[in-house]
Chains A and B, each alone.
Chain A
């Protein structure tokens, strides 16, 4: 069975601080995908990143960066120089990678981390 753990329920930082959101996952699949989604106050889930289990390179997109460590089953998300607009709930998720035709790319989510950036 798959499981995603986001141990941080809520985090508060002052604007311009860096913040890291932790994500630890469990899966028996040898190939899988990891995702991060952002849920702003408006409610929809906004896709941020997808990472294939074969690709352990870290990724940077503007102020966002992701650290994938297969050895520790972690996929952490760092926001550099946080801004008030970063305030949201962030979800880490996992799905299988091989579409067998009989299966599904259903996402297994963590409980989410609520990030509050204080001006």
Chain B
């Protein structure tokens, strides 16, 4: 079973530019989460999809961030326009549907390191 994959692994952009991060969850996982770790701080929740629907986006910092999960498969997280404070590592995780074994065990991808200059 392939794990969670994220693309790109690194991205360096200038302030004001747009960046799109992609996450491919484990096949069949209904739940998809985005998290972010700003250097020296905790890994913080951004949002949660159940299939293609946004279940909880309470962690999204502001309206410069837009997440989509068309068709309930892969997800994208777009930052437009990027600001210096958006730098950090963006993690994606996926898990099975509630009721299935280990339903709340989240499998994480390797993360995308975003640097905004």
Contact = CB atoms under 8 A, between A and B. Distances in A.
Interface of A: 4, 33, 37, 42-47, 50, 91, 93, 95, 97, 99, 103-112
Interface stretch (B18-26, B73-81, B106-114): B106-114
Contacts of B103: 99
B38 to A, nearest CB: 11
Contact of A44 (B33, B43, B109): B109
Contacts of B98: 99
Interface size class on chain B is 20 to 34
B104 A95 contact: yes
Nearest to B45: A106
B42 interface: yes
Interface of B: 3-4, 31, 33, 35, 40-45, 48, 55-56, 59, 89, 91, 93, 95, 98, 102-111
B105 A50 contact: yes
Contacts of A50: 102, 104-105
**Most chain B beta-carbon contacts within 10 A, residue among A43, A103, A105, A110:** A105
A33 B104 CA distance: 9
Given A45-B91, A99-B98, A111-B41, A105 B108 contact: no
Contacts of A4: 42
A42 B109 CA distance: 11
Contacts of B91: 45
Nearest to B97: A99
A40 to B, nearest CB: 10
A106 B59 contact: yes
A33 B59 CA distance: 20
Nearest to B44: A109
B56 A106 contact: yes
A44 B45 contact: no
A111 B110 contact: no
Nearest to A37: B108
A47 B107 contact: yes
A42 B110 contact: yes
B105 A43 contact: no
